[in-house]
Amino acid sequence: MSIQERLDYLHELKERAALGGGTDRVKAQHERGKLTARERISLLLDPNSFEELDALGADMSDPSSEERLYGDAVVTGWGRIDGRAVCIFAQDFTVFGGSLGEVVSEKIAKAMDLATKTGVPMIGLNDSGGARIQEGVGSLAGYGEIFYRNVQASGVIPQLSIIMGPCAGGAVYSPALTDFIFMVNGTSQMFLTGPEVIASVTGEETTHEELGGANSHASKSGVSHFTSEDEQSCLDDVRRLLSFLPSNNMDDPPTVDTGDSGERILSDILDILPEDAQNPYDVRDIIERLVDNGDFMEIHELFAQNIVVGLARIEGNTIGIVANQPLYLAGVLDIDS
Ligand code: HXC
C-alpha cells in the first residue's frame, strides 16, 4: 500500500468512526430528544477546541469481524471551556447502547490519566447501558480501571458527570464516585439495572423515570446535584459550574470582573428578615442580595430543602454558601441536610 493509499484508508476509517452506530441509530437518538456524543461535545466546548484521542480504537466484541466499529462506543479527548483546558469523554449510545468494553474503558482511562497528570477537570458525558455483555469479564475489569482512577483523582481535580440517557450498572457507579452529577429531565436515568430486569427478577413493575429519573435523584436520593430541562441548558450549566471552580487542588478559582462592589450596602435585608423569629422567610432572598449581581448557583436545589448550599462570588472571588432555610422544617438540620 502506498503512503497515499494508507492516508486515504485512515481517512475512510475516521469517517466511519464519526458515524457511530450508523444513520438509523443517530436518527433514533434524535427522535428521543437526545443529541449524539459528538454534538454534545461541540455544544459544551469552546468552538474548534476539541482534540480527539484514540479515534480509531475498534470494538472487541468480535475481533475477527469485518463490521468492527471504529471509535467504539465513546469519543474521548481534550478541549477548552472559557479558554481553560478540560479532558472529556462522551459515551455513544448508538454503538452497543454506549456500553463499556475493553477499548471503551482504555480510552476513558487514558483521558482520565491525562486530566490528572495535567491538573484539569474531567468531564464525563454518560449515555450507557453499563458493562458490555458480549465482552464479559473484560468489561468488568475495565470498570475497575475507571473506578480506581475516580478515587485517585478525588480531591485532586474536579470530576463532573453528566447523565444524558438511560444509564445502568457501571455507567452509574463511576458517576456516583465523582464530585457533581447533572441530569436532564425526561431523558436521563440512573439505575443499577433497567425496569425490565427488575420486573423479571422481583415481579415489581416500575418505569425508567420512577426508578432512576432526574426528579427521583434530585429530590429523593440526592444523588444528582443539578437538573435541566434539556441537553443544551444542561451543558450551559456545566460551563457555569466550571466558572466557579479551580482546575485542580493547587490552583485558585478564576477571578471574574463582576462589576459589583464589596462596599455595596444591603439596605433592604432588614425588610426581609422578620422581627419575630417565629416567622419564616426565604434565605435565598438574602443570598441573592449578598452575592455579586445576585448570581447564585444552587446545588441540590430540590434535596434537603431545609439547607441551601451553592456557589457565588463576592468582589469577583468564588465563595461557597451554606445557609439554613427557615422556609422548610424551620431550617432545622436533619440527616439529609
Ligand atoms: C451490550 C447493550 C447493553 C449492555 C444496552 N445494549 N445495554 N449491549 N451490553 N449492557 C444495547 C441493546 O441490546 C440495544 O441493542 C441497544 O443497546 C439499545 O438498547 P435498548 O434496550 O434498545 O434501549 P432502551 O430501551 O433505551 O434501554 C436502555 C437500557 C437497557 C435501560 C440501558 O438497554 C438495559 O436495561 N440494558 C441492560 C442494562 C444493565 O443491566 N446493565 C448492567 C450491566 S452490569 P440493539 O442492537 O438491540 O439495538 C454492570 C456491572 C458493572 O454494568 C460492575 C463493575 C464492577
- Which residue in 296, 328, 301 sits closest to 313, CA to CA? 296
pLDDT at 73: 96
**For ligand 1, mutation pick of 133, 167, 196 (most atoms within 8 Å of CB):** 133
Ligand 1 centre distance from Cα of residue 54 (Å): 24
Is residue 265 within 8 Å of 256, Cβ to Cβ?
no
Indicate if ligand 1 lies below 6 Å from the C-beta of 213: no
Is residue 66 within 8 Å of 22, Cβ to Cβ?
no
Indicate if ligand 1 lies below 6 Å from the C-beta of 176: no
Ligand 1 centre distance from Cα of residue 130 (Å): 6
pLDDT at 160: 98
- Which residue in 181, 283, 165, 286 sits closest to 237, CA to CA? 181
Helices (H) and strands (E) in the chain, counts: 12, 12
**For ligand 1, mutation pick of 99, 102, 177, 189 (most atoms within 8 Å of CB):** 99
Which helix (H) or strand (E) element contains residue 170? helix 170-176
For the chain, which ranges sit under pLDDT 70? Answer: none
Q: What share of the chain is helix, strand, coil (3-state, %, to 5)?
A: 40, 20, 40
pLDDT at 15: 85
Indicate if ligand 1 lies below 6 Å from the C-beta of 169: yes
Dihedral of alpha carbons 296, 298, 302, 306, sign = negative
pLDDT at 277: 84
> What pTM was computed for the model?
0.95
